[in-house]
Structure 1
Amino acid sequence: MGKFPRLLLLTVLVLPACASTCTTRWFDRDDPSGVGDFETLADLRREYPMDICPKPIGIEAQTVEGTPASSTGQIFHPFNPKEGFACVNKEQNYSCLDYKVRFTCPSNFCSASTCTTRWFDRDNPSGVGDFETLADLRREYPMDICPEPIGIEAQTMEGTPASSTGQIFHLFNPKEGFACVNKEQKYFCLDYKVRFTCPSNFCSGCMTQWFDRDDPSGRGDYELLSNLRSEYPGKICAEPLAINVQTLDGIPALKTGQKFSVLI
C-alpha cells in the first residue's frame, strides 16, 4: 500500500476588510514593587490625559525589555483594552516582571496630530516644594505654551517619569500644571521638569537665531526690534508672535529680578 501525504484539517478565519487603526506610544507608569505592576486604563488616563483614545480596541503588553507578556508565563488580571493591564505579585511563582503597554485605537485618533513643548524647570524643591504650575510657567515663558494644553508629562531632571518615583503630586494635569509639596512626601520632593502636549498647529511656527546687538554699558542694554531689523536685515519675520529674552549665560530674563522697559 502506497504512502499518501497526510491530510491536515485546516480552519480558516475570514475577516471583513477592517478600518485602519493606529497604536499609542508605550506606557510604563508602575513598577512591580509592592502589590504588583498596574498599567490600568484608569490610572493611565489620569497620568496621560488625551494620550489614549476614548474607546481602545486593542491592547499589547511587553516587558520593558520587549518580551511579549504572553511569552513570560505569568498571570495577568486584567488584560483587556477596556480595563488595561495588571500583574499581581501574589498570583505569580515569584514577583511580576516590569511591563509596559500600548493601545490600539481607530486611525482618526492618531490623525489629530499633536506636538510637545520643550521641557520646563522653573522651580527647585527647596522651601515648600517643586512648583511647575501652568500659571507660573506662562509668566516666565510667555508664548511658549499653547493656550489650552491637552496633555502634560513630568520627569525628574535625570529623566525618571514622575509616575515611577512613588511620590505624591498635589497637581498633575494640563490645565493647572504640576506641583510636588514637600510635606506630602516621606522625605523631600525630587527636582522635576515638565512639558505639555499641544495641537500641532501651535508648533508650526519657528524661532530666529539669538540676537545680542548691545551691551549694558551707557544707558542700558537695548535689543529693540527696530535696531535689530537694521543690523540683521531679512533675519526677522514681518510680524513676530513672541519674544524670548535670556542673559548670555542662559538665565530667563524674568528670573533675574531686573525691570524691563520693553518686553512684549
Structure 2
Amino acid sequence: MKVLIFCVVLSASIAGTLQDVLDIQRQVCYTQWFDRDDPSGNGDYETLTDLRKEYPGKICSQPLTIQAVTMSGVAAEKSGQVIQTYDTVVGFTCVNAQQKKGNCLDYKVRFGCPCAPQVCYTQWFDRDDPSGFGDYETLEHLRTEYPGKICPKPLSIQATTISGVPAEQSGKVIQTYDTVVGFACVNAQQKKGNCLDYKVRFGCPCAPQVCYTEWFDRDNPSGFGDYETLTDLRKEYPGKICSQPLSIQATTISGVPAENTGQVIQTSDTVVGFTCVNADQKNGNGCLDYKVRFGCPCPFP
C-alpha cells in the first residue's frame, strides 16, 4: 500500500505537547491532511471508509493515532462542538443535529502511522495491455515474468499511465491497487472507453550492501533439467553461501541472464534456488546450462 507520510523529527526536549512526546516515542509518522466532506448536509464525515475510497493507498492499514482540526486549525476537542466519533477505527464524524447551536464546523483529519523504513523502488513494469479484458499488472503475473525482481512483501505500489499520469488522476475506475494483489483495471467497469495502459513499480525495503558469492554450476541439463538448488549447493560447497541470501543471479555458462534466454524457469529465488526443467521447454529443446550466485549481507564470507 502506498502511504505518504511525514516523519515526526522533533526531539522530546522541544516537543510542544504531550502528544508530540508520545508520537516521538512511538515513532509515529503522519499522513497528509484530508478534507473530503463539508458540513452542509447532515454533518462533517471524515471516515476511514470514505477516505480510503477517495485516497487509495494514502492511509496505512492500522493507524496509531488520529488528529482532527477545523480548517482554521483549531483542534476538534477545543472547538466546543459535540463530536460523535473520533478514533482510528471509524475516523471522524460530527453530526449537525447534535450541536447545541448551529452546524458542525468544517474539519480536516490526518492519521499517525508507523514510520515506514526507507523505501527503494523497483523498475517500472508493463506486462499487459488493455486490449483484452483490461490492464492486469498483478504481482502473481509480474513475479512469473520477472522472477526475483520484486521483494516478497512490498511496502508500497505506484501506478501511472505509460505517459506518466498517476492512476488515481487518470479518471478511470481502478479495481485493485495494493501491495497484496498489485494493479488491475477492468474495461467493463469504465464509464467511457477502455482502461488506459498502465505501468507499475513497487517500493521495497532498501537492501543492505550486498556481497556476492562465487558462481556455482553443480548440475548439467542432460538429465531432467538444470538444478542449482540451495540444498544441493550447500552440500557440495559447505560454508560458501550465507544462511539467508538477499538475492540470486542466474546466467547461462556463456553469461546470458536467465530472464533473457527465452526459456521457462521453474524456480529462481533465495529460498529454493534455481531450477529449469527440460519438460517445460518449448519445441522439445532442453534447458541451457546455467550457473548461479547469491547476494549476501556484507561482509561475506
The normalised TM-score by structure 1 is: 0.49
The structure carrying a bigger strand percent of its residues is 2
Q: Which has the higher contact order (CA 8 A, sep 6+)?
A: 1
